[in-house]
Structure 1
Amino acid sequence: MKRSGFKRKEPKPFELADRKTTLKRTAIKSRIKKPTVAEGSKYLAACRGERCYLSVICGGDASPDIVVPCHSNQGKHGKGMGLKAEHVYTVPGCHWCHMWLDAGKAPREEKFAAWDRAFSEWMPARAHKMGLQYEEAAA
């Protein structure tokens, strides 16, 4: 039996070899730019020192020291699996109301209604605090 040397494989045509790479590159180019932390931090900063707008557990009497920004849990605001909603959709809420909103046993509809009510109250106050017109803040 005669041994033969190693043979080089013929290179694949350019279109076939790089098709997957080309598809990946086009997918990367078409990604939507996500807002940076600095762009959304102004909405988080607006929540500091405010009263609890959720006022489900505390009744709105919580100390401003324990008020944190509560993000929306609704898909229409950009919430998804492992994703928070955009910072535009935040409402000041105390620790207890925030825990009720995120981990409470209340039905989703009740939580959504409470958050929507708080957001409609917070929008004019936030617009005034940030020096925006109400229409700009709603967009």
Structure 2
Amino acid sequence: MKNSGFVRKPGKVYATLARTSTLKRTGPIKARRKRPTVAEGSRFIDACRGEECYLRVPGICCSIGWAHPSVVDCHSNQSIHGKGAALKAKHEFTVPGCANCHYWLDFGPAPRETKVQAFDAALERWTITRAAKRGIAA
């Protein structure tokens, strides 16, 4: 028996099932949403360097009232600030926080409402300071 490749028989129904008209573009390519670049987000992150902890969680914070080497930018964990599954919140919703407060905010056993209140209070204080630091009216 001769081994030959698969060949469609002309005139059969299945020979014309695939339409090429569905593969053609019907409209223009839409522009994608502009994502913030590293430079645009770094201005918010750079503002946190050399600052004191703004989260100031009682019994947790190690740097109340003075700058600490472990102070980093803490992103919000609230969906209203752009947080999602495998996504960080927008860089404008960051506050400086020491390592202990940052850990408490992300993994601590406190109720979510307590963490939201602590972050919102810190963001309110930090927004004013950050605007003054950057020379912008809040």
For Structure 1 versus Structure 2, the TM-score category normalised by the shorter chain is: 0.7 to 0.9
Distance in structure 1 (CA, Å) of the matches to 2:17 and 2:102: 60
| Percent identity of paired positions between Structure 1 and Structure 2 | 49
The change in CA–CA distance for 1:61 and 1:132 in structure 2 (over 3 A counts) is: closer
Which of 113, 127, 138 does residue 109 from structure 1 map onto?
Answer: 113
What SS is found at the alignment partner of 1:64? coil
TM-score (norm 1): 0.79
Gaps of 5+ in 1: 135-139
**Structure with greater Cα Rg:** 2
What SS is found at the alignment partner of 1:83? coil
Which of 3, 21, 27 does residue 15 from structure 1 map onto?
Answer: 21
- 1:61 deviation in Å? 4.9
TM-score (norm 2): 0.79
Higher helix share: 1
The RMSD of aligned alpha carbons is 2.7
The change in CA–CA distance for 1:79 and 1:124 in structure 2 (over 3 A counts) is: same
Corresponding residue number in structure 1 for 2:61:
58
Q: Contact (CA 8 Å) 1:62, 1:94: kept in 2 or not?
A: no
- 1:66 deviation in Å? 0.8
Distance in structure 2 (CA, Å) of the matches to 1:127 and 1:62: 20
Gaps of 5+ in 2: 1-5
